Structure 1
Amino acid sequence: MASIAPRSSTRNGKTIKVYDARYRDPSGRQRKKTFTKKGDAERFAAAVETDKARGQYVDLSDRTTVAAYARAWAEARPHRASTASRTASLIDVHIAGTALGGRRLADVRPSEVQAWAADRSRALAPSTLRLLVSTLRSIYTSAVLDRLIASSPVVRVQLPRSERARVVPLTVDQVRALAEAMPARTRAMVLTQAGLGLRVGELLALRVSDVDFLRRTARVEFQVAPRSKVRTDPKTPRSRRTVPLPAVVADALAAHLAEFGAGDDGSIFTTATAGTFYTRERYGELFAAAVGRAGLRAGTSSHDLRHHYASVLLAAGESVVAVAERLGHENASLVLSTYGHLMPDSEDRTRRAVDEAWSGTVLGGGRRPGDPGRRG
């Protein structure tokens, strides 16, 4: 239990009576806080014991900075290698590299977080800024659970409005032109990604054993991690999937393997010199050069081939759920939010739905002439 002990103290050349509130924190460490009034010391001691009993004790003397705790938080997360790298970069550059990072966790106020977010908005895209603020919010939530602070200052942060541009998928002719603009050894990569809807890492990791030409299916088992030549688990558990193998892809793969062969580890797409699969960065360089030669819009990336795949399926009448499964998404909501405007005849269906709902009524609650009505 906390105790109150009076003693004499010299302040500004005068001897005064002060009161030491002594207590033990939840770890058993002896603590002390001094007050000039006995009533204040008693109230503090009672509050400490109440907080300890409720499991709400916070060590207000802790000097941990935002940057130090953020790094410790990140190291303890069960992140995949690519996620861990991205998170570490965000923390190093945009938290530790700012004035906020040097502040003591418990000293940061909501207004400081808002000012920090406004400053970061001048250097980051809206989507990246939202990811950064979400990361800081998670860091502070963890600090609350660790009882280093009583509450999080990352609340009601106002961020710039983010308008996501509508997807304009590549046409079949554009994909064909892009493939023809690629070096011969990588031409089948474009057709495979466009015909199977693979992420670029999944494409690079594809092996001969993953493709069943007889049953006309392709199995996604791995992806290639960024900036490496290492196969890792796919992005999410749902990313590990079996995809129907169209004839256009089967023919492209068969021709590619006949001309270039497979790597020693079974990799389908290999470099001419090393005999191993491409890195994401090298494939991106080749792709960007082909975009220019094919005359496609600037900024077109390999991810646009996934958009092409989704748009083809939706135009053919595939359900949103089926498209989500083919793409390896966790649920169909992302497909709806990204590709909903591409669903066929959506405008006609909207008009028809409203017209059919109103077809039996007229303004004022009456009925159309000739319809059965009430007796007058």
Structure 2
Amino acid sequence: MASVKKRPDGKWRARYYDAAGKEHSRHFARKTDASRWAADQESAVQRGVHVDPRAGRETVKAFAERWRTAQVQHRPRTARQVEIVMRVHTYPTLGDHRMSAVSRTAVQALVTSWASTAAPRTVVMRFAFLRAMFASAVDDGVIGRSPCVRIKLPEIVKEAVVPLTVEQVRALHDAIAKAYRPAILVGAGCGLRISEVLGLTEPAVRHLARDLDVRWQLSEAPPWKLLPVKTTNGVREVPAPAFVLDALSTLTAGEMLGTLLHRGDEQWEPISARMVHLAFADAVEVVNRAAERRKRDRKARRTTAPELPSVPTGTTFHDLRHHYASTLIDGGESVTVVAARLGNDPAETLRTYSHLFPDSAERTRRIVDAAWAPADPQDQADGLRTVGE
């Protein structure tokens, strides 16, 4: 039961008890203010939304560090991202603020400052971590409500995927260093992520079943580990074409982790994603230089050889995954099958590749036209003449 009493110094003392029986009090110059505060706090206790007024005095940095280190579900990469977002992009602005003093306006100002120097997708990722931290503070009773509400985020303009052609992929395969060529074939022929390709071991390549058992991925940095794939959808069996199985059959497992793609030195360390990305970038330059040189030679009539394929600047290993998805779509596979092969959610797959699926109206017309088409072309001509008569 809340109470308000006048103190000898003339101030009014408001007092109430929380759900745990702990007493809380505050002093006011006016009785009206004291009564209002006590009534508000008692109402919050009865509704189960009471927040200890002293809990919000903890700084953003102090709470965020407690929250960050308690997230056992975060994978190593995510944990590093959260640490960087908090230390580099949040603490300099909000770190010394009390949790209860952070307003929606302050969060919006922080997000706006991020948007001036970072890509929209990066800003959205940073805000997701910040919002999760404040949501946890609400659940812990540190603050009454999260300031991360109605925050305006930059629009992510998602460009339509333009998949690489087979000729472009072959050119990249031939241009890259020999040690990385099996990775190119697995990426283009099975659609695996780079970490999944580097995590392949001998048992994962099932020649009799003619598929790849995808369950593990290589950690991004030392100490090297084989980690479970990121999501439950990621665990899958991917049919492997002959050229992929042939490329993998020539490899031997490394002694460190048993991965098929390794450096082959005394340490037997696996090939890292960074090494593949650098080699891939070099291959893109080699392909484009060769294409430009051939174009100049043809223009100067120094050769009659056909033009060579070029690839867009900024093409990465992940584009091999888009190539694989487009190949399945062109072959008539459904969005459910494409998502299963990629280890993606079907909704995400449809959002990414919807423009590559055949137009349903045109497909309907073709189906009905095919059903009604006469077996003999002469019959069709006779039918047309009959209608004309």
Which TM-score tier does this pair reach, normalised by the shorter chain?
0.7 to 0.9
Cross-structure match for 1:218: 212
Per-residue deviation, 1:204: 0.2
Cross-structure match for 1:302: 317
TM-score, normalisation: structure 1? 0.85
Correspondences of 1:34-73 after superposition (within 5 Å):
34-61=27-54, 62-73=56-67
Q: Does 1:103 find its partner at 2:84?
A: no
Cross-structure match for 1:250: 245
Contact 1:19 / 1:35 at 8 angstroms: preserved in 2?
A: yes
TM-score, normalisation: structure 2? 0.82
RMSD: 2.2
Deviation string 1:196-244 (CA, Å, 9 cap, x unpaired) is 1001000000011111111211100100121232110101011011010
Correspondences of 1:103-182 after superposition (within 5 Å):
103-182=97-176
Contact 1:105 / 1:149 at 8 angstroms: preserved in 2?
A: yes
Per-residue deviation, 1:291: 1.6
Which of 315, 321, 324 in structure 1 is aligned with 2:336? 321
Per-residue deviation, 1:292: 1.2
Whole-angstrom CA distance in 2 between matches of 1:317 and 1:281: 34
Cross-structure match for 1:368: none
Whole-angstrom CA distance in 1 between matches of 2:365 and 2:131: 43
Whole-angstrom CA distance in 1 between matches of 2:186 and 2:115: 38
Return the structure number with greater helix share: 2
Per-residue deviation, 1:345: 5.1
Q: Which amino acid aligns with 2:171?
A: A
Contact 1:209 / 1:266 at 8 angstroms: preserved in 2?
A: no
Deviation string 1:272-308 (CA, Å, 9 cap, x unpaired) is 3232311111221122111211223221111111111
Gaps of 5+ in 1: 10-16, 354-376
Contact 2:194 / 2:318 at 8 angstroms: preserved in 1?
A: yes
Which of 349, 355, 373 in structure 2 is aligned with 1:335? 349
Q: Does 1:192 find its partner at 2:186?
A: yes
Query: Aligned to 1:34, what secondary structure does the other structure show?
Result: strand
Cross-structure match for 1:263: 254
> More displaced, 183-192 or 18-27?
18-27
Q: Which amino acid aligns with 1:300?
A: T
Whole-angstrom CA distance in 1 between matches of 2:66 and 2:321: 36
Query: Aligned to 1:102, what secondary structure does the other structure show?
Result: coil
Gaps of 5+ in 2: 289-310, 368-389
Cα separation, partners in 2 of 1:57 and 1:313, compared to 1, 3 Å: same
Which of 65, 72, 79 in structure 1 is aligned with 2:74? 79
Per-residue deviation, 1:161: 2.0
Whole-angstrom CA distance in 2 between matches of 1:240 and 1:163: 30
Number of residue-to-residue matches in the alignment: 341
Whole-angstrom CA distance in 1 between matches of 2:7 and 2:85: 50
Cα separation, partners in 2 of 1:52 and 1:191, compared to 1, 3 Å: same
Query: Aligned to 2:254, what secondary structure does the other structure show?
Result: coil
Whole-angstrom CA distance in 2 between matches of 1:138 and 1:317: 41
Whole-angstrom CA distance in 2 between matches of 1:3 and 1:175: 77
Deviation string 1:122-181 (CA, Å, 9 cap, x unpaired) is 121101111222222222222222222222222221222221111111111111111111
Contact 1:263 / 1:275 at 8 angstroms: preserved in 2?
A: yes
Q: Which amino acid aligns with 2:348?
A: L
Contact 2:254 / 2:260 at 8 angstroms: preserved in 1?
A: yes
Per-residue deviation, 1:322: 0.3
Whole-angstrom CA distance in 1 between matches of 2:336 and 2:241: 19
Cross-structure match for 1:205: 199
Per-residue deviation, 1:262: 2.4
